[in-house]
Amino acid sequence: MKDIFFLTTSAAWRKLYHIRTDAYTAQDKSRNNTRHNIVDYLSLAPYAAESGRQQLEEIAAEDKIAACGLALYRASLLLTYKHVINKDYLRAHEECNHAITYLQEGLNLLGVTTETKQNDLTARARCFVNSLASQAELQEARKKNKIASRLFFVLGMHRSGTSALTGMLAQAGFAMPSDLMPATDANPKGYWESVGIMRLNEDFLAGMESHWTSSLPLPTGWSQSINCREWRTSLINIISESFRGAQLPTIKDPRFCTLILGLEPWLESRIIEPSFLLPIRHPLEVCNSLRKAEGIELNKALRLWIKSILLTEEMKRKRESEIIAKEKEAKELQKSRFGVDGDLFKKRQELIKPIQDKIYKALKEMATKGSYAVIFDKSSDLSMLYTNPKFDKSDAILLAMGYKKGNKGTDGKGASESGGGMPKGQMQGGDSEPGKK
């Protein structure tokens, strides 16, 4: 549950929705109803039609103060979204800080840890606002039918067959951009990609001192920057102009292999349904083709292929963090179910206690009738099952040692607490019949 806070403050509504959907089995729902309601409530984007009132009422039944915190978070989130729509980013950041604080307080009261430093909260607020701004623009473009509800992205390394695949999609009826890049000697059948999108991506990479021929990673945090938000804004405008709301729009540019992380606010918005097509060609064939077409040497071409096809370093770190979080969550679940104080242990105690009480009652009755001082269990390590308090000689032994019951030493402490005393326990006399089982 710890990652719920980070997903919410990243505007990752799709991931939250999937967590909610995947977790809703009948068995889990009965055990963790409150936590399911939390995920339900937090998975609602600020532009969602649902209010989340029912989930909030059920959370309030568990903890009213926590529910108030989450309600305040929702109210601040809606205000943040309003400021974002009005392009008032200063007020949006201020309100977003309030929203995150309310969210953190509400989740902590419900037992969801959200340990984050204040400077991290400020950074998360910036990231949150940037994501919400891009989602607001995407929502507006959808309302005006400037962008279709489903987008198709053709990804893949340069010279790996992306143009051939996109050409086949065009013949199958998929929409192509109006500003198609003209064919060249290196690709006589055409590239099937937008000149505007290609130039935008080239400029964005250049602004980060990078290029599609560079195998170096992009700057840390680039996808959460204001520049990235502005890049998404320009991308919406170009897609709107190039496709004019056509159905099955197909967006192809190999640079998206590097830049796809920057589109995460779109992909997580649930406003559009993205689909990705990734043709895979043998890397050595790609490298030979790059050498002939672009004059790129083999080692550099291989590094480019790895960067384009495999996860970037930033994406790797993110996925590794998600795996570690899931492993920790699994261990915590195992501990809560099967640990020393887990559900299984408590259930066993609950089931065995009535039996133990009956046994003890029977032993006590038998010991009283037979005048037994002690009853041992010889089947194990000779443990005592019952001792009769009637034969407790603790006070007599203390009296023989010179300590009177109720006397206090010079230091004001009782005799049994003095340095030479011994802790009071049950010291059994031997004047009764030996114990039996």
Q: Is 412's pLDDT higher than 80?
A: no
Asked which of 123-137, 138-152, 327-341, 344-358 is least confident by mean pLDDT, the reply is 327-341
Our measurement of the distance from residue 117's CA atom to the centroid of its chain's CA atoms, rounded to an integer in Å, reads 18
Q: What pLDDT digit, counting tens, does each position of 361-397 carry?
A: 888 888 778 777 777 777 666 677 777 777 777 788 8
Long-range (24+ apart) CB contacts under 8 A made by 352-356 are none
Q: Which two tokens stand for residue 385?
A: 């099952």
Rg for the chain (alpha carbons), in Å? 35
The predicted structure's pLDDT at residue 413: 43
Q: Is 75's pLDDT higher than 80?
A: yes
Cβ(125)–Cβ(93) below 8 Å: yes
Phi, psi of 150 (to 5 degrees): -130, 125
The predicted structure's pLDDT at residue 3: 81
Place of tokens 């840390």: 220
The predicted structure's pLDDT at residue 388: 76
Tell which wins on pLDDT, 353 or 263: 263
Helices 64-85 and 33-42 sit at what angle, rounded to 10 degrees? 10
429: confidence class by pLDDT, cuts 50, 70, 90: very low
| Residue 402, Cβ density class (10 Å: 0-12 exposed, 13-18 middle, ≥19 buried) | exposed
The predicted structure's pLDDT at residue 42: 95
Q: Which residues pair with 386 in a beta bridge?
A: 375
Which of the following CATH numbers is that of domain 145-320: 3.40.50, 3.30.310, 3.40.30, 3.30.1490?
A: 3.40.50
**Residue 250 DSSP SS3:** strand
Q: Over range 220-231, report the average pLDDT.
A: 94
pLDDT > 70: percent of the chain: 84
Q: Over range 252-256, report the average pLDDT.
A: 93
Place of tokens 């919400």: 132
Asked which of 13-22, 58-67, 354-363, 372-381 is least confident by mean pLDDT, the reply is 372-381
The predicted structure's pLDDT at residue 352: 86
Q: Over range 33-45, report the average pLDDT.
A: 90
Q: What pLDDT digit, counting tens, does each position of 275-294 carry?
A: 999 898 898 998 898 888 88
Q: Is 226's pLDDT higher than 80?
A: yes
217: confidence class by pLDDT, cuts 50, 70, 90: confident
Q: In the chain, which residues fall in CATH 3.40.50?
A: 145-320
- Report strand pairing: 150-154 vs 273-277: parallel
pLDDT > 90: percent of the chain: 48
Q: Is 420's pLDDT higher than 50?
A: no
Greatest mean pLDDT among 223-227, 316-320, 406-410, 412-416 lies in 223-227
Q: What pLDDT digit, counting tens, does each position of 176-186 carry?
A: 999 999 998 88
407: confidence class by pLDDT, cuts 50, 70, 90: low
Report the C-alpha gap between 167 and 173 in whole angstroms: 10
Tell which wins on pLDDT, 76 or 389: 76
Q: pTM higher than 0.75, yes or no?
A: no
Q: Is 337's pLDDT higher than 60?
A: yes
Place of tokens 């000779």: 382
**Residue 376 DSSP SS3:** strand
